[in-house]
Amino acid sequence: MAMSHRLVKLPAAALLLAMCSGCGYLFGDQGIFRDNSEDYKKAPEMPVVSVPQDKDSSALGEIYPIPAVDNELILAGEFEVPRPAPLVAGAGDEVVRIQKLGDQSWALIGVPPGQVWPQVRSFLTAAGIQVARVDARAGIMETNWLKLEGASMGSRFRFRMEQGVQRGTSELHVLQMNQAGDVDSWPGSSDNPEQAHEMLRAVSQYLANSAESAPVSMIAEQGISAGGKISMQEAPEGYTYIRLELPYDRAWASLGRALGKSGFEVTDRDRSAGRYDARFLGPQDEDEDGWFDWLFGEEEHPLAGQLFLITMTSVSEQAVNIRLQPQDSSLDFSKRDEQSLLALIKGNIN
């Protein structure tokens, strides 16, 4: 006599429970497929691998290095909890902005270099431009020769990515070369600045549309530091200053813009002496909820109306030091006041 077997549908959770019941040897703490998500807590600290002096140790670098904190400044004497600093450093600005100083122009991008690199590659691919040479660690990408519409000769372009002034930002520079003369050496400046600027505008627009969702190139991220070119340091004499790793001309212009964004009114300036005379205005009245209002409420900023001397000293071809001092020597100006105003200026330099 034929027999029939009736199948009963069980909920998925009940079926899984029935299958796994008594299977501790598979999924338990000692099982073959045990949960190892917490194993990292028991990982011992291993000694650094020793590499002979005549061997290359670059491949053993940290994949995710922890950057040093730039603002480890300790106040002298009794510590008092400071007010929180206002949000600065381009908060709310565009992801991509084109900056210009004299004949030079570059794109300032609000994401790390490792995120910009693959997007520039994507731009060239989308535009049908062939790449002749790449060096991700140096942040350099060079194209083949192109015949542009309306141009009498071929052109090629070099894209150079580097860290921005602020941590986690990038700069993109474009250099153009004509197919004439010495084509084996890149010129110091573009043979056709208009072509270079148009290429910069095109790639900047592409980055603006996709920078926030871009993938990350780990090689470029490791090779191009994203730690920024600015920090606050303390001199042996005890005062605090800003260290800015930019050439003097650009540092001077950047400082002037930053003072305006930080609530200062420049009353006089002397570029050759590296000197800005500025009045700190304190809270702004541009709208009812200004960026100082939440910090000080209805009270006037204690330093509002005071005159300050901001000096910039060149320490090398690629670095300057910036110091701030009150012009009134009798002003009660604490170390905390000094660091607070410098931090405000620092956050607006780019």
Note the pTM of the prediction, 2 decimals: 0.65
Q: CB burial class (10 A; 0-12, 13-18, 19+) of residue 339?
A: buried
pLDDT surpasses 80 at 226 = no
pLDDT of 143: 94
pLDDT surpasses 60 at 44 = yes
| pLDDT tens digits for range 263-317 | 999 999 999 999 999 999 975 554 444 444 444 455 667 888 899 999 999 999 9
pLDDT of 113: 84
pLDDT of 313: 95
pLDDT of 41: 79
Band (77; pLDDT cuts 50, 70, 90): low
Domains 96-223 and 230-346 share a fold: yes
Which DSSP symbol is given to 146? B
196 or 301, which is more confident: 196
For residue 121, the surrounding DSSP H or E stretch is: helix 113-126
pLDDT surpasses 60 at 83 = no
Angle at 161 between CA 214 and CA 166, to 5 degrees: 80
263 or 181, which is more confident: 263
Across residues 148-165, what is the average pLDDT? 90
Q: Which one of 3.40.1350.10, 3.30.540.10, 3.40.190.10, 3.30.310.170 gives the CATH number of domain 230-346?
A: 3.30.310.170
Band (329; pLDDT cuts 50, 70, 90): confident
pLDDT surpasses 50 at 347 = yes
CATH homologous superfamily of 96-223 = Kinase associated domain 1, KA1 (3.30.310.80)
CA–CA distance, 7 with 33 (Å, rounded to integer): 30
pLDDT surpasses 70 at 87 = no
Across residues 48-76, what is the average pLDDT? 70
Domain boundaries, the chain: 96-223, 230-346
CA–CA distance, 144 with 153 (Å, rounded to integer): 13
53 or 311, which is more confident: 311
137 or 15, which is more confident: 137
Q: Give the burial string for 214-223 (b: 16+ CB within 10 Å, else e).
A: beebeebbbb
Share of the chain above pLDDT 70, in %: 70
